[in-house]
């Protein structure tokens, strides 16, 4: 098995579905491709075998690289799951910034979440939710994820507005949207994940508007 030789610096996460710009160097593109290969191999094994029973050696073997190479990109198995979540958060903020200027912050957040979810396989998302629910270490990471996501959403909404006076509003909308994702996701899973995720997002935000009316 041939070990890759990436540099010690970890490559920046790539938004799901995004390609590195043509200006990116060959080494950077290779590092990103290797990171994505490791992440895909790990996630497939987690969903097939479970998180606890999957070893780092298993992941490295599935990605056709050495254990040492794994640690160039991730410090632990938990970091692989965190990377999957961080990429999804990056995609969400990108969608926020792309929303039309005429949309309210709450509507922009709702539409951005729905658009970002379309990039994710619902079956994989449901399996990942169950995986995190059944593992205490991943549950702790999941809580941290929502805290980071709230800050990122607030920054994205404030940047989209461009007005300093809107920063408090951006933080409040980010808090509501993040809570909607957490509670809505739990409800979606408990109901058997029958609806498309974006349809459930609409139901969740409709409920929020009914409360705020």
What confidence tens digit (pLDDT) does each residue in 25-80 have? 788 888 888 988 998 899 889 888 888 899 999 999 999 999 999 999 999 988 88
Lowest mean pLDDT among 98-102, 109-113, 145-149, 163-167: 145-149
Angle of helix 105-117 relative to helix 167-190, nearest 10 degrees? 40
Distance (Å, rounded) from C-alpha 59 to C-alpha 45? 7
Per-residue pLDDT, 203: 86
Distance (Å, rounded) from C-alpha 54 to C-alpha 211? 43
What confidence tens digit (pLDDT) does each residue in 58-68 have? 999 999 999 99
Per-residue pLDDT, 23: 52
pTM of the model: 0.67
């Amino acid at each position: 098995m041939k070990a890759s030789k990436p540099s010690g610096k970890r490559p920046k996460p790539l938004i799901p579905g995004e390609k590195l710009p043509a200006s990116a160097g060959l080494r950077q593109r290779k590092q990103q491709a290797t990171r994505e290969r490791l992440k895909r191999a790990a996630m497939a094994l987690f969903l097939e075998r479970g998180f606890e029973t999957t070893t780092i050696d298993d992941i490295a073997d599935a990605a056709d690289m050495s254990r040492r190479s794994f640690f160039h990109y991730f410090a632990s198995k938990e970091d692989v799951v965190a990377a999957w979540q961080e990429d999804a958060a990056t995609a969400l903020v990108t969608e926020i910034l792309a929303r039309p200027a005429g949309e309210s912050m709450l509507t922009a957040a709702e539409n951005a979440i729905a658009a970002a979810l379309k990039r994710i396989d619902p079956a994989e998302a449901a399996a990942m939710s169950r995986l995190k629910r059944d593992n205490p270490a991943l549950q702790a990471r999941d809580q941290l994820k929502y805290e980071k996501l709230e800050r990122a959403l607030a920054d994205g909404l404030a940047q989209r507005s461009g007005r300093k006076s809107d920063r408090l509003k951006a933080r409040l909308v980010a808090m509501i949207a993040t809570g909607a994702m957490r509670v809505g996701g739990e409800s979606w899973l408990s109901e058997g994940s029958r609806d498309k995720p974006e349809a459930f997002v609409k139901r969740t935000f409709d409920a929020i508007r009914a409360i705020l009316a």
